Amino acid sequence: MKYAQRLSAATTIASIRIEYRELLTDRPRVRRVRIVFNRRKITLSNISKFADKWVLVIDDMEGMRSQLRMSLTNSGFAKLHIVANIREALERMASNRYDVVLCDYSLGDSTDGQQFLEHLRTNDLISRNTIFVMITAEQAYEKVVAASECAPDDYLLKPFTAGQFNARLEKLLERQEYFAGIDKAADAKDWARVIAECDKALPARNKYFVELCKTKAAALMHSNRLQEAANLYREVLALRPIGWARLGLARALAMQGKKDEAQQIAREILADSPQFMAAYDFLGGQLASSGEKKAALEVLQKARAVSPGTMNRIRELSTLAVSAGQPELAESVMRQALQKHKYSPVRQVNDYAILSKALTNQGKADEALSVVADARKDFRDEHSQIILAATESVAHRAAGNDELAEAALAKAMAGDINALPAETVTAIADACFALGKEDEANKLLRHAIQNNPEDETIRSKVHDVLIAAGKEITEANAMIEDSTQEVIRTNNDGVRKAESGQFDEAVELLCEAANRLPNNLQIVSNAALVIALALVKNGNNPQMLAQCLRYRDLLVKKSPDYPKIAQIDSQLRLLQPARSSQ
């Protein structure tokens, strides 16, 4: 039987795929064949292309799930997972990597598709190369996506035809293939490779030119190459006034210390585009970090009036309201958000901690303790229990339950502080201050600063905890600066000892600091480098080599293109014969 007849006789996409593969084997020059299947024209090369793609469909309507399954199957997609809600989607994503996600906007849940997308992107829960398509019947969705910095790759308005669906996917899959290498490097946070791959592609100035510029500029920012990033943003703006480029320039300037200029750009963006939510977030954060909390609150409340926004914006607003002495506002905003997202996985344990603190600051200690009890039902992991114990301690102290407050604080402090996120450390410090344990609180805050030396957000949180504890602004600033200088002195002392040949003392000093401050990359990198230098000078030592490699692996994990990795490797290569003989 001729191939045309055999293809026409096929009754399923699976059988068409088999016949098509045989056709390619026999006639490899065939590239594009169209047939009619179920009264629809199908390009057989696309059947082959789509067959290897994993697709996740999220829709709360059973009828729509069935329709999408049929459309995808008839288009040649064979690897499908169909779920009804966000929780099921997250469970699937935890064990599968998807090439395409099709998500309904109105999920019937408390969390809509746009908020879910922002949750995924913000928390790196899907690859940058994953295609995310929003499906909606709401004509107003165009305004929703225009107001968000985190937009889907595309969206489809219901009803849509199979032809429209396939045409969109073909274009998106083409883009996916083009950016595959760049996205893989970005997922690995290998920013040097992202920049190099973009530099290879940019000279072609093809249809992806502007997106390549955006990707490269973001990688430059991550690499702390701020002036280069600012220059690239300006080059894009010379072509056309794109919002993301204007905001990117503002961020680059702010990180260079040019905060007034950065704030001015943000204000101009909002004057021109009042729906640009990311500009509100940026400006609010800048004002808050400068101590202008009232002005920052006004900006974030304007943003909330324009769009209810993501949980991240709600968290920023609520936290800022508490630190600015407006716990009533924090309670109102966070309680409303938690009620809306009551059964949604986008909630975090810190949301309940913020609400509890807002209630405690209003003298509602019993309500604050009730919030903690509710949170414990849903957040049972060790890290969450530590945060809730610290929060509970403060509420018990406010309620006059001193013994219970002490017990809760002891539970919060029982773990390894080096393994805790900085936000958790500051929460424990806040509880220590509430119970009059000032020395313990200061020790925790110093650790938070020294372990996160470049993180302005952490410095701001430490400052807020100190002010809430009754410290003067000058005293708080002095404590933060002294903590910063202390770790700088430790680093410099270790380097000087190594330069003078005192390797044992240098290794001991820097390794102690590195073990205590695993997020301080300067300390960790110098500890690894000094060990490598000592090994070159004194001969191989398996135990020291293992320690050096552990620090190096930590650097690679946290910052693959950290400059000092090359220096460490150059020294380790001198040990290669000894390492090979082990």
Alpha-carbon torsion 402, 408, 414, 418, what sign?
negative
Spans of the chain, pLDDT less than 50: 1-4, 7-25, 28-42, 44, 578-582
- Cα angle for residues 194, 197, 199 (degrees, 5° grid): 105
3-state secondary structure string across 227-254: HHHHHHHHHHHHHCCCHHHHHHHHHHHH
CA distance 73 to 512: 58
Alpha-carbon torsion 165, 167, 171, 176, what sign?
positive
- Residue 2, H or E segment: none
pLDDT value at residue 137: 80
Cα separations (Å) of 528 from 2, 333, 348, 531, 569? 68, 46, 36, 5, 10
Cβ-contact 112, 105 below 8 angstroms = yes
List of residues 6+ apart from 413 with CB closer than 8 A? 428, 440
CA distance 263 to 253: 9
Nearest to 46 by CA among 32, 35, 56: 32
CA distance 173 to 77: 13
Count the helix, strand and coil residues of the chain and give each as a percent rounded to the nearest 5: 70, 5, 25
3-state secondary structure string across 24-93: HHHCCCCCCCEEEECCEEEEHHHHHHHHCCEEEEECCCHHHHHHHHHHHHHCCCCEEEEECCHHHHHHHH
Transcribe 310-341 into DSSP letters.
-HHHHHHHHHHHHHTT-HHHHHHHHHHHHHHT
Alpha-carbon torsion 526, 527, 528, 533, what sign?
positive
400-422 burial, b at 16+ Cβ within 10 Å, e below that, comes to ebeebbeebbebbbebeeeebbb
How many residues belong to the chain?
Answer: 582
Cβ-contact 368, 357 below 8 angstroms = yes
Name the token pair of 433. Answer: 């201050």
3-state secondary structure of 102: strand
Cα separations (Å) of 178 from 48, 151, 212? 18, 19, 11
Cβ-contact 318, 281 below 8 angstroms = no
Q: Summarize pLDDT for 72-120 with one digit per residue, the tens.
A: 888 788 889 999 988 899 999 999 999 999 999 888 767 788 888 988 9
pLDDT value at residue 577: 58
- Cα angle for residues 426, 428, 433 (degrees, 5° grid): 95
3-state secondary structure of 486: helix
Alpha-carbon torsion 571, 574, 576, 578, what sign?
negative
Nearest to 157 by CA among 133, 138, 131: 138
Crossing angle of helices 382-399/365-378, nearest 10°?
170
Cβ-contact 59, 48 below 8 angstroms = no
In angstroms and rounded to an integer, the radius of gyration of the C-alpha atoms of the chain is 28
DSSP one-letter code for 489: H
Q: What is the residue type of 380? A: R
Cα separations (Å) of 197 from 177, 184, 466? 14, 11, 45
pLDDT value at residue 18: 44
CA distance 572 to 564: 13
pLDDT value at residue 166: 83
3-state secondary structure of 292: coil
Decide: pTM greater than 0.85: no
Name the token pair of 276. Answer: 């640009």
